[in-house]
Amino acid sequence: MRSGNPAGSGDRPRADRGLAERVADGEIRAVARLISHLEDGDPAAEEAMRALRGRHGKAHLIGITGPPGSGKSTLTDKLIGVFRSRGARVGVLAVDPSSPFTGGAILGDRLRMQGHATDEGVFIRSLASRGRLGGLSRATQAAARVLDAAGYDYVVIETVGVGQSEVDIVKIADTVALVSVPGLGDDIQVIKAGIMEIGDVFVVNKSDREGSDRVVREIRGMLETAASLKRSALPPPVDSLRGRGSVTGPGYQASAPSAAAPGADAPASATEVAPAPGAITMSPEELAHHLTESAYNVNLAADPELPPVLKTVAETGEGVEALADAIIAHRRGLEASGKLVERRLEGIRAEMRGLIAFRLLDALEGGAGRSREDALARAVLAGGEDVYGAAEELFAALSKGGMP
């Protein structure tokens, strides 16, 4: 497979041009180098990012998250295949954990994406979490922006294998696909706060295994309950049931960046009735089941906010086409309702807060900061100071612009 866009080719770097310019041209080595600079906190990164401002915002940022071993990498591999078959270029950021002791890491997600190893329309980068909690690394958000600016139509961000509370992906991705597998726990797990709240599309992978239907039911039940608690007393218009008859909704035409090849075999014509914003897409059988299950509250079934729950077998690719469609439909819904802007603003706010927090922490890590911190910690241990007072003192010193 080869993209029609020559910008993706791994040209020789031309040293006479700036890093940002080379990134904007999609030059692989420059893209890779800028991501490294971002990871290392190199000042060259800030300069390049400033030069690239305004060049991003086109790509669909997709988060893939879920517990270790749930099949995130294999699913990502198959999603790349679907997007490529539609002529789009795909960037991938795969985050794996760093050792809390040595800072080293083994980054193995790429292992499962070998099918696209030499496809010039695909860029895969492994990122180590480098001490950051929350399922991502410090540089992930900026790295996604780099891939966006380099012209990738889809940027898939695979988080570390998560537990219950690594939810940072929701601040970066337009669409979060939460991957579950059968056999992880009972139905109380799905109503707990945290990870189960952030899915825009729910995936039950390895669905050829026993118990997958139960997981689907439990997730749906959770989503319905959440929706019924949230919804207003007004029943939605009957019309909102329209357009949800099929799993394969219209493709990505409306919002596809121009790099997506024309003539890609998009599944439906643009004239087809588009699903309502954020509409769930399900088969008639599923719809019937859904209506029966929620018969005690018919209105529930019509809730256009209810995220889809899809079964996949990533290993064989089963269900992945429908997953891609659901992901695309979600983003279209966000665009149509204006929520994409809201969501991205939220993400930028979170990123700015993160940058401030990192600066404070870096200042603490510096020589003077560290010794002041150490002295205060000792004072707290000895009982001469309390931890709140000590923190107050440190914070005051930091916010005055560095350590005394």
Partner 1 sequence: MDKKIRVLVAKPGLDGHDRGAKVIARALRDDGMEVIYTGLRQTPEQIVTAAIQEDVDVVALSILSGAHNHLFPRVTELLVEKGAGDILVIGGGVIPEADYDFLKSKGVAAVFGPGTPTKSTIDFIRNNIKRK
Question: Any bridge partners for residue 126, and if so which?
Answer: 94
Nearer to partner 1, 32 or 364 (CB): 32
Site for partner 1, residues 349 to 368, rule: CB under 8 A: 362
Site for partner 1, residues 59 to 118, rule: CB under 8 A: 98-99, 102-108, 110-111, 114, 117-118
Please give the DSSP secondary-structure letter assigned to residue 384: S
Q: Is the dihedral of CA 340, 341, 346, 351 positive or negative?
A: positive
Nearer to partner 1, 130 or 231 (CB): 130
- The reply on whether position 28 binds partner 1 by CB under 8 A is yes
Distance between CA atoms of 172 and 180, rounded to whole angstroms?
Answer: 20
Please give the DSSP secondary-structure letter assigned to residue 57: S
Nearest CA-CA partner of 305 in 245, 224, 196: 224
Nearer to partner 1, 266 or 403 (CB): 403
Cα dist from 325 to 88, 216, 317, whole Å: 14, 18, 14
Site for partner 1, residues 125 to 154, rule: CB under 8 A: 125-126, 128, 130
Nearer to partner 1, 12 or 230 (CB): 12
Q: What number of chain residues touch partner 1 (CB under 8 A)? A: 35
Distance between CA atoms of 364 and 371, rounded to whole angstroms?
Answer: 9
Smallest separation, CB 27 to partner 1 (Å): 9
- The reply on whether position 248 binds partner 1 by CB under 8 A is no
When binding is defined by CB under 8 A, the residue of 1, 4, 7, 11 that contacts partner 1 is: 11
Tell me the pairing of strands 175-180 and 60-65. Answer: parallel
Nearer to partner 1, 107 or 377 (CB): 107
- Piece of the chain touching partner 1 by CB under 8 A; list 10-18, 233-241, 329-337, 378-386: 10-18
- The reply on whether position 29 binds partner 1 by CB under 8 A is yes
- The reply on whether position 339 binds partner 1 by CB under 8 A is no
Question: Any bridge partners for residue 62, and if so which?
Answer: 156, 175
Q: At a CB cut-off of 8 Å and minimum separation 6, what does 403 contact?
A: 363, 366, 368, 369, 372, 397
Coil, strand or helix: which one is 186? coil
Binding mask 258-277 for partner 1 (x = CB under 8 A): --------------------
Distance between CA atoms of 9 and 82, rounded to whole angstroms?
Answer: 21
Q: Is the dihedral of CA 116, 122, 123, 127 positive or negative?
A: negative
Amino acid identity, position 98: S
- Piece of the chain touching partner 1 by CB under 8 A; list 8-16, 49-57, 152-160, 273-281: 8-16
- Piece of the chain touching partner 1 by CB under 8 A; list 33-41, 305-313, 320-328, 331-339: 33-41
Beta carbons of 254 and 302 less than 8 angstroms apart: no
Smallest separation, CB 10 to partner 1 (Å): 5
- The reply on whether position 185 binds partner 1 by CB under 8 A is no
Nearer to partner 1, 107 or 403 (CB): 107
Q: Which residues bind partner 1 (CB under 8 A)?
A: 10-13, 28-29, 32-33, 35-36, 39-42, 98-99, 102-108, 110-111, 114, 117-118, 123-126, 128, 130, 362
